[in-house]
Amino acid sequence: MYMRGLLAPLERKNGWTVAEEVGHCGPDRTQRLLNRIDWDADGVLDDVREYVVEHLADPGGVLIVHDTGFLKKGVRSAGVRRQYSGTAGRTENCQAGVFLAYSGERGRTLIDRALYLPKPWTDDRERCREARIGDEVEFATKAQLARAMVRRAVDDGIPFHWVTADAGYGYSKGWRYEWEQADVFHVVATTRHDTVVTRQALDHRLHELVADLPRQKWKRRSCGEGAHGLRIYDWARVEVRPWHRPDRKHWVLARRSIIDPTKVAYYIAYAPAGTTLNELVAVAGARWAIEECFQTAKGQCGLDDCQVRRYPGWHRHITLAMAAHACLTVLRAQHLEKGPEPLERQT
């Protein structure tokens, strides 16, 4: 019934509105589902991943790492504090969740989640206990939470070919090195001040490396559809790590604005030696798919309507919202495969 409420056409999908949608006179039962009844949210998450693999599996799929904010009032909700929220575009009182999305030819949806707990929370064990955060839960950076998610996807045999993330995660050399050792291909954003190994230097800054490229090295390419049409930029790549294994290559990938050529974004790529520029551009562009997941999961499945304060309750609500989003994604994929109904049937 909770899932049915999350899928209903309601403006808000909190305890009260979901309860009323399924015929309850108050939110007691929905709150009990999230806070007190004994059930395994991680087990349900495993079911969601299996469902996604069954219906959306793509050997060329992309795993996408990103985080999103959940605006909150007060100080008692697990993990809440004043921190930057991409949702609001500024520092706000909010919770931050780290997510992993799966994007393939048939659709994209969320397959893993974790609530980020800032150090002021994990350093105050009494406050953690009040929010039902176990003593075994220690501080972990967002990058560490993301690494654990990708590891789970690898261990669970999720079919994918690439990992991508924004600079908040991609800047970590340790993160990139771990996936290189596991031979996980990736295109991750980083900053202009990041450094790489080239024939000229052991710590060659990216913006210096790209600044020397001749004009003919830049190719105008689209990295996918955006809200206002194709996202078209000038792209270039430079091979780095010249003494690595011959069947794998590293590149610095640069994306330059057409309108303002001084605006350049940077990526680090690790892939098979025969990978083309177009393939790298496509993976870099796939990162925006998780923003679409957040938008639809919040707008249609109540992802950001959680009203519980406790740590387990947050994971339970988020998991059920992810399950609802996965269901809608699969239904959409099936509808697109069937195509439009014959005219005589429509009439």
Q: Per-residue confidence of the chain (347 residues) as pLDDT tens digits?
A: 889 999 999 888 888 888 888 888 888 888 899 988 999 999 999 999 999 999 999 999 999 999 999 999 889 999 999 998 877 778 999 999 999 999 999 999 999 999 999 999 999 999 999 999 999 999 999 999 999 999 999 999 999 999 999 999 999 998 899 999 999 999 999 999 999 988 887 889 999 999 889 999 999 999 987 766 788 999 999 999 887 888 999 999 999 999 999 999 999 999 999 999 999 999 999 999 999 999 999 999 999 988 889 999 999 999 999 999 999 999 999 998 887 666 555 54
Residue 345, pLDDT score: 55
Q: Decide if 297 is inside a domain.
A: no
Residue 308, pLDDT score: 86
Phi-psi group of 147: left, alpha or beta (phi > 0 → left; psi -120 to 50 → alpha; rest → beta): alpha
**How remote is the C-alpha of 39 from its chain's centroid?**
25
Residue 90, pLDDT score: 84
Whole-angstrom distance, CA of residue 71 vs CA of residue 81: 10
If asked whether residues 115 and 172 sit together in one domain, one would say: no
Helices and strands in the chain: count of H runs, count of E runs: 14, 12
If asked whether residues 177 and 278 sit together in one domain, one would say: yes
Q: Using a CB cutoff of 8 Å and minimum separation of 24, what contacts does 331-340 make?
A: 332/107, 333/55, 333/56, 333/106, 333/107, 334/55, 337/106
**For residue 92, how many other CB atoms are within 10 A of its CB?**
16
Q: Decide if 24 is inside a domain.
A: no
If asked whether residues 210 and 281 sit together in one domain, one would say: yes
The total number of structural domains in the chain stands at: 2
**Helix (H) / strand (E) containing 221:** strand 219-226
C-alpha pair distances (Å), 41 with each of 15, 22, 315: 18, 21, 7
Cβ atoms 101, 112 nearer than 8 A: no
Nearest CA-CA partner of 198 in 242, 238, 161: 242
If asked whether residues 314 and 217 sit together in one domain, one would say: no
Whole-angstrom distance, CA of residue 323 vs CA of residue 297: 10
Nearest CA-CA partner of 145 in 41, 66, 53, 45: 66
If asked whether residues 309 and 262 sit together in one domain, one would say: no
If asked whether residues 151 and 204 sit together in one domain, one would say: no
- The domain of 333 spans 41-165+304-338
Reported residue count of the chain is 347
Q: Decide if 312 is inside a domain.
A: yes
If asked whether residues 149 and 174 sit together in one domain, one would say: no
Q: Decide if 291 is inside a domain.
A: no
If asked whether residues 308 and 161 sit together in one domain, one would say: yes
If asked whether residues 262 and 334 sit together in one domain, one would say: no
Q: Decide if 123 is inside a domain.
A: yes
Residue 247 corresponds to which amino acid? D
If asked whether residues 215 and 131 sit together in one domain, one would say: no
3-state helix vs strand vs coil in the chain, percent to 5: 40, 25, 35
Unique residue bearing structure tokens 């049937």: 345
If asked whether residues 76 and 88 sit together in one domain, one would say: yes
**For residue 279, how many other CB atoms are within 10 A of its CB?**
18
Does pTM surpass 0.85?
A: yes
If asked whether residues 192 and 256 sit together in one domain, one would say: yes
Residue 112, pLDDT score: 98
